[in-house]
């Protein structure tokens, strides 16, 4: 299984469900299957016993939330100028 890591601070307030190590890094299963997955599948994988799979599902869910937040805030900042 190919894994990757990121620091939990990279997701700001969107860190629900992630399990960082003692240094604040989150190890997750690095696969495009999570990017292509339906939300229903991601929710199922958040209950995996494998921490890397569970983190990958939570990371994708939180990244999608972050992208929505960014798109909403980009529109606000453009409109306020």
- Sequence length of the chain is 81
pLDDT in tens, the chain (81 residues): 788 888 888 877 777 888 888 888 988 888 899 999 999 999 999 999 999 899 999 999 988 988 898 898 876 654 554
Q: Pick from 10, 7, 1: which is nearest to 21 by CA? A: 7
Integer Rg of the chain from CA: 14
Instruction: Measure Cα distances from 44 to 56, 57, 60, 61 in Å.
Output: 12, 9, 13, 12
Where exactly are the structural domains of the chain? Answer: 3-79
Extract the tokens encoding 46. 């958040």
């Amino acid at each position: 299984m190919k894994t990757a890591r990121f620091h939990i601070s990279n997701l700001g307030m969107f860190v629900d469900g992630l399990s960082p190590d003692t240094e604040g890094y989150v190890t997750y299963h690095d696969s495009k299957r999570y990017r292509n997955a339906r939300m229903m599948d991601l929710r199922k994988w958040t209950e995996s016993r494998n921490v890397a799979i569970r983190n990958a599902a939570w990371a994708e869910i939180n990244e999608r939330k972050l992208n929505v937040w960014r798109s909403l805030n980009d529109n606000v900042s453009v409109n306020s100028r």
